[in-house]
Homo-oligomer: A and B are copies of this chain.
Amino acid sequence: MKKISESAVRRLSLYLRLLRVVAGKQELISSQELAERSGATSAQVRKDLSLFGSFGQRGRGYEVDDLIETLEGILGLGRRWRVAIVGVGKLGSALLGYRELSQRGFDVVAAFDVDARKVGEKLGGLDVSDIDSLERVIREREVEIGIITTPPEAAPDVADRLTRAGVSAILNFAPVKIGGNEGMVIRTMDLALELEGLTFALTSSRDGERSHA
């Protein structure tokens, strides 16, 4: 099976979101229009889609509804996913309260914390479980995706435990490298890294101006 780049997958997600916006308003969409809305080129759009098959009609474009279904299939969104959140601090509880998650097909079925005061508390309609019961609860509730919102020190250990408990993918918000063993799918979202991307751009563009002057 040919390898699909991460950036291609991101764009597919983006196309799907844009298609949902126009769904019901128009029947067909061209690679050109999808390109304008997504900031890609029309060639890019056609290429991305063609990695998985031919879904359009020459001379007409793509059927919006069809393409939505196709993309949902490709991205694995034809079903719901069972998610656990580990670490119910500020960020964790923000995520717990997110309606977006459930709308997009992700059911948060477990939440964990070390803090005894939080355990048992009801947050977003869900009991917070003790982190000590992680393995058991993960198994019982058949969690497939773990979201780590613990402090960085705790994150690698949590990742190991999630892995051993049978979770198959992790979305990590802690600013540390998470060691996943073979086959584990891991993504890290790192606020500081993104901010530093901004400050780099600001700083170097300013230097750029100066050196032009």
The residues of A with any CB-CB pair to B shorter than 8 Å are 1, 4, 6, 9-10, 12-14, 16-17, 37-39, 74-77, 81, 89-91, 93-95, 97-98, 100-101, 104-106, 144-145, 168-169, 171, 175, 177, 183, 185, 187, 189, 191-205, 207-208, 211
Contacts and interface: CB of A to CB of B under 8 A. Distances in A.
Contacts of A196: 9, 13, 16, 75-77, 104
B74 A175 contact: no
Contact of A202 (B39, B168, B192): B168
B191 A76 contact: no
A198 B192 contact: no
Contacts of A12: 200
Nearest to A81: B199
Contact of A200 (B9, B39, B192): B9
B104 A193 contact: no
B211 A104 contact: no
Copies of this chain in the oligomer: 2
A183 B204 contact: no
A22 to B, nearest CB: 14
A9 to B, nearest CB: 5
Given A13-B192, A89-B94, A90-B93, 15 more contacts: A4-B200, A4-B204, A10-B197, A39-B177, A74-B203, A76-B204, A81-B199, A90-B97, A90-B98, A91-B91, A91-B94, A95-B191, A183-B205, A187-B198, A189-B194
A200 B100 contact: no
Given A94-B90, A193-B13, A185 B168 contact: no
A103 B97 CA distance: 27
A117 to B, nearest CB: 17
